[in-house]
Amino acid sequence: MPGFHHGLAAIALLALWSLPSSSRAETAPAPDPAGFIAEDPALAQRVGRPAPAMRWQTLDGQTLDMAALTRKGPVYLKLWATYCIPCRAQMPGFEALYQRYKSRMSVVAVDIGFGENREKIAAFVRKTGLTMPVVMDDGKLSDWLQIRATPLHVLIDRNGRLAYLGHQDGPALSAALERVLATPRTTNDLHFADVTQTASLAVGAKLPAMSLTDTQGASASLRPEGSTRAQILLFTAPWCESYLATMDPPTARHCARARELAQKLMPHSGIDWTVIGARLWTEQGDMVGFGTLFGPGFRVLLDSDNLAFTRFGVRQIPAIALITKDGHLAKILDGTRADLAAQIEDFERVTR
């Protein structure tokens, strides 16, 4: 996303957190601090769509029904991630907004669930003192919104329609909150969007045709046309080793280990290796450096529409999918497992 600064200095973040929450919530963020993320003009195209009907389990085990909340009144969803610097910078202001508006609308903190687990989220919530309901998305809402960056503020009006989407938490958000509260319901016949995803590929399934984007921005097939070679797909992100080195060091180390293992095995494997970068927080301009990081011999693609990550059910990085010579899914491996090299080498042996 334009304006999202990877790996900003921690001192900038700490300085931002030291500001009073009321100051941050009422002042438009400047482009330089860690909390800034530029608005995406494409978000305005989603305004007016019916809100999704979803059910979540909150961190404390309660069922949260989006349809029921929407019938009750306006809803404010904030999508975020524990390792996202702008999200962290906005959290005190988000809690302040919750305290201000909780009696007049439903407010829900939605962790996007990519690279997350409930324990990590719960620890973050305790540390930051969030008191609103907190849920973890399974990818359905993120995919439906075509989210490319967090934080994302989503307001749903009394008619069950998306009324506002934005990344920043300054005056524009405050004005939108008041506008949604002031908008009366004009219909009781609410309709909700279907956010059902295509089922993840099962082991043994043939890979569907899907088009991703190469490092130069050209369309590229996930599986090379006419290929009769086995294939290994490495799911990761251009920012995993750099940005997460500070924000989530264990995941950064796992991504580095998976890359180094791929670089060691690829030259002698007789298998096509394809690296798939997540669309979150990734611009096309990031892909050249990403390709250079892996080096010659790798196809490096950007999953700009989140097709591959969704079809393979990948929510944690790194992950590896093993594809047979005839294009069927043999196995998906957790990229953090200790025996990752042995698993890949076993696959190489049986595919020769």
Position 268 pLDDT exceeds 80: yes
215 and 282 share a domain?
A: yes
Residue 138, in any domain of the structure: yes
Report pLDDT for 352.
75
Q: Closest Cα to residue 190, out of 30, 22, 72, 56?
A: 72
Among 141, 164, 182, the domain boundary falls at: 182
Mean pLDDT is lowest, of 85-89, 97-101, 196-200, for: 196-200
248 and 331 share a domain?
A: yes
171 and 251 share a domain?
A: no
273 and 145 share a domain?
A: no
User: How far is residue 308 from each of residues 303, 323, 336, measured CA to CA in Å?
Assistant: 6, 13, 20
Kindly report the CATH number assigned to the domain that includes residue 154. 3.40.30.10
Residues 6 or more apart whose CB falls under 8 angstroms from that of 17 comprise 88, 89, 92
Residue numbers of the domain that contains 86 = 10-182
Q: How many CA atoms lie within 13 A of 54 on its CB side?
A: 22
130 and 25 share a domain?
A: yes
Residue 235's DSSP bridge partners are 276, 319
- Going by the DSSP 8-state scheme, the letter that residue 51 receives in this structure is P
What are the percentages of helix, strand and coil residues in the chain, rounded to 5? 35, 20, 45
22 and 156 share a domain?
A: yes
Residue 73, in any domain of the structure: yes
User: How far is residue 99 from each of residues 90, 123, 250, measured CA to CA in Å?
Assistant: 14, 21, 34
**Over residues 323-331, mean pLDDT:** 97
pLDDT over 90 percentage in the chain: 84
Position 10 pLDDT exceeds 60: no
28 and 113 share a domain?
A: yes
Report pLDDT for 202.
97
Position 348 pLDDT exceeds 60: yes
**How far apart are the C-alpha atoms of 138 and 225, rounded to whole Å?**
32
Report pLDDT for 198.
87
Q: pLDDT per residue over 114-155, tens digit each?
A: 999 999 999 999 999 999 999 999 999 999 999 999 999 999
Per-residue pLDDT band for 74 (boundaries 50, 70, 90) equals very high
**Over residues 91-116, mean pLDDT:** 97
Question: How confident is the prediction for the chain on average, in pLDDT?
Answer: 90
Total number of domains in the chain: 2
What is residue 109's three-state secondary structure? strand
Mean pLDDT is lowest, of 92-101, 173-182, 224-233, for: 224-233
150 and 282 share a domain?
A: no
Among 134, 162, 182, the domain boundary falls at: 182
160 and 234 share a domain?
A: no
Report pLDDT for 308.
97
Position 249 pLDDT exceeds 50: yes
Position 5 pLDDT exceeds 50: no
Residue 203, in any domain of the structure: no
Residue 149, in any domain of the structure: yes
Position 29 pLDDT exceeds 90: no
Q: Are strands 152-156 and 231-236 parallel, antiparallel or unpaired?
A: unpaired
110 and 34 share a domain?
A: yes
8 A C-beta contact, residue 301 and residue 291: no
Among 143, 163, 182, the domain boundary falls at: 182
**Over residues 191-209, mean pLDDT:** 93
Residue 154's DSSP bridge partners are 77, 165
Residue 31, in any domain of the structure: yes
91 and 237 share a domain?
A: no
User: How far is residue 224 from each of residues 190, 221, 232, 272, measured CA to CA in Å?
Assistant: 45, 6, 12, 9
Position 110 pLDDT exceeds 70: yes
Residue 204, in any domain of the structure: no
The reported pTM is 0.89
Position 276 pLDDT exceeds 70: yes
Residue 91, in any domain of the structure: yes
Report pLDDT for 192.
95
What are the tokens at 87?
Answer: 């999200």
Residue 191, in any domain of the structure: no
E runs forming strands in the chain: 55-57, 63-65, 75-80, 106-111, 134-136, 152-156, 162-166, 211-214, 219-221, 231-236, 272-277, 299-302, 319-323, 329-334
Position 14 pLDDT exceeds 70: no
245 and 174 share a domain?
A: no
- Going by the DSSP 8-state scheme, the letter that residue 52 receives in this structure is B
